[in-house]
Chains A and B, each alone.
Chain A
């Protein structure tokens, strides 16, 4: 069983479109995260949710909006996609000491 799963794995879309990336975890964790990996492989946190409530919201454009229907799911919606949004996005879930990562979603905006 995959602990943290993201869909889709790859996403190619045109500028201006609105898209969503879904994330689900079956680990029973209360906290879930979205990270963006930059071109140098650094992971930058975007959002953190604890038990469906937003607890971290780093400086990201408001075109990015996380939605957590329940504590096992944290979806990332992106409106009006721009070329610079192309990156790999990682979902994670965790407890106080560690986080488990999904395999990432490769988003390419053309």
Chain B
């Protein structure tokens, strides 16, 4: 069993939809959680970085961590075609340690 599970998609939504991206994990030692966005042929860029349980909001993006369920989510409100990319979750046990990545979910937002 993989330590981090992420549905690879592809996920296709209409413009303006609310997108929900999710990862589950099996190791309760993970404490720091990240979401990266990767456009085709580009390197990943950090979207959100959260510690422990709770919500964090940044513009149209909200990251949610539920440690009791070992489940993290990224919500995108009012999705735009420019949001079309692959979204990777990642997590680490202590800050600055090695990351474990999900497989990435490919998202397409249709105009």
Contacts and interface: CB of A to CB of B under 8 A. Distances in A.
B46 A90 contact: no
Contacts of A96: 40-41
Contacts of B40: 96-97
Secondary structure class of chain A's binding surface, majority of residues:
strand
Given A43-B45, A98-B106, 15 more contacts: A9-B98, A40-B49, A45-B43, A88-B97, A88-B98, A88-B99, A97-B40, A97-B86, A98-B38, A98-B86, A99-B44, A101-B88, A103-B100, A105-B98, A106-B97
A105 B99 CA distance: 9
21 contacts: A39-B96, A42-B46, A43-B44, A44-B43, A45-B43, A88-B96, A88-B98, A90-B99, A98-B38, A98-B86, A98-B104, A98-B106, A99-B44, A101-B88, A103-B99, A103-B100, A103-B101, A104-B98, A106-B96, A106-B97, A106-B98
For this complex, into which size category does the number of interface residues on chain A fall?
Answer: 20 to 34
